[in-house]
Amino acid sequence: MLSATIFFSCSAIKEPVLKGIDELKVNGISLNQPRLIVHLNYFNPNRSGLRLKDATGDVWIDNSFLGRFNMDTSIKISGLSDFIIPVMLDVDMKNAMKNAATLLFKPVVSFKIEGKARIGKSGIFINYPIRYEGKQDLSKLLQ
Phi-psi bin for 107: left (phi > 0), alpha (psi -120 to 50), beta? alpha
CA atoms within 13 A on the CB side of 42: 29
Considering its fold, how many domains does the chain have in total?
A: 1
Instruction: Identify residue 35 by its one-letter amino acid code.
Output: R
Q: Residues 59-99: pLDDT tens digits?
A: 998 888 989 999 988 999 999 999 999 999 998 877 766 66
47 phi and psi, to 5 degrees?
A: -70, -35
Q: Residues 3-58: pLDDT tens digits?
A: 434 444 445 678 889 999 988 888 876 566 788 899 999 999 999 999 999 999 99
Q: What is the pTM of this model?
A: 0.82
CB 115 within 8 A of CB 127: no
Whichever domain contains 45, its CATH number is 2.60.40
- pLDDT for position 50: 93
2 phi and psi, to 5 degrees?
A: -65, -40
Q: Residues 46-62: pLDDT tens digits?
A: 999 999 999 999 999 88
Domain carrying residue 39: 2-141
Question: What's the mean pLDDT when you consider all of the chain?
Answer: 83
